[in-house]
Amino acid sequence: MAKETWKAGNMLYPLPAVMVSVTDGEGNDNILTVAWAGTVCTNPPMVSISVRPSRYSYEMIKKTGEFVINLTTEKLAYATDYCGVRSGRDVDKFKEMKLTREKADFVKAPMILESPVSIECRVKQVLELGSHHMFLADVLAVHADPAYMDEKKKFHLNDAKMLVYSHGEYLGTGKKLGTFGYSVKKNKKGAGKKR
């Protein structure tokens, strides 16, 4: 049976569900949940987030030119959803969700201690694209929770049970199916798989 054709829309799923922490530089911090976030460039390291201008955090990012992307886990699913549906105009999300502010090294926005990875970002460019404006940002530093580091200093992020967002639902990332390049790696006897 052939696929149905729908009108143009956003169906690129699953997406990372991240909590973006921001500040106005005057003592007011907030957390914004973003599913439209992604890697832009490896060298220099860059990321992007897309935010509606009507969101409370939007003006904070525009004002300071800084934010922190905090990766989320299954344990953070409730807080991730809450920070996406409640406005920082009305509540202190750090307080309500019992999340811990952690000082960043390069930006004034706080990191979220409970996140396994926090990525400090400085805005390089704002693209006003339509319903959302895209903040292209340089990555200034990455902070990783040592709880997921083994004795050889290898980081095991998947052990954190990462969270993704797909078509209105939050999901765990599930089981490992392979590693990068496994489809072309040679087996132990030195012979590659034939197709």
* pLDDT beyond 60 at 130: yes
Q: What pLDDT is stored for residue 154 in this prediction?
A: 94
Cβ neighbours for 174, distance < 8 A, ≥ 6 positions apart: none
pTM reported for the whole predicted model:
0.92
What distance in Å separates the CA atoms of residue 93 and residue 151, rounded to the nearest whole number? Answer: 35
Q: What pLDDT is stored for residue 175 in this prediction?
A: 86
* pLDDT beyond 60 at 86: yes
Percent of the residues in the chain that have a pLDDT greater than 70, as a whole number: 96
Tell me the average pLDDT across 72-79: 98
Assess contact for 139 and 119: CB atoms under 8 A: yes
Edge to edge, the sheet with strand 46-51 lists 29-34, 18-23, 66-70, 117-128, 133-144, 46-51, 37-41
Mean pLDDT of the chain: 94
- Amino acid at the residue 38: G
Q: What pLDDT is stored for residue 188 in this prediction?
A: 58
Q: What are phi and psi of 6, to 5 degrees?
A: -110, 170
Cβ neighbours, 10 Å, residue 112: 26
* pLDDT beyond 90 at 39: yes
Q: What pLDDT is stored for residue 191 in this prediction?
A: 46
What distance in Å separates the CA atoms of residue 128 and residue 135, rounded to the nearest whole number? Answer: 9
Tell me the average pLDDT across 148-163: 94
Domain boundaries, the chain: 15-172
Q: Which own/partner contact pairs does 171-177 have at CB distance under 8 Å and 24+ positions apart?
A: 171/14, 172/74
* pLDDT beyond 70 at 152: yes
- 3.10.20.30, 2.30.110.10, 3.40.50.2000, 3.30.360.10: CATH of 15-172: 2.30.110.10
Assess contact for 67 and 153: CB atoms under 8 A: no
Write out pLDDT tens, residues 88-105.
999 999 999 999 999 999
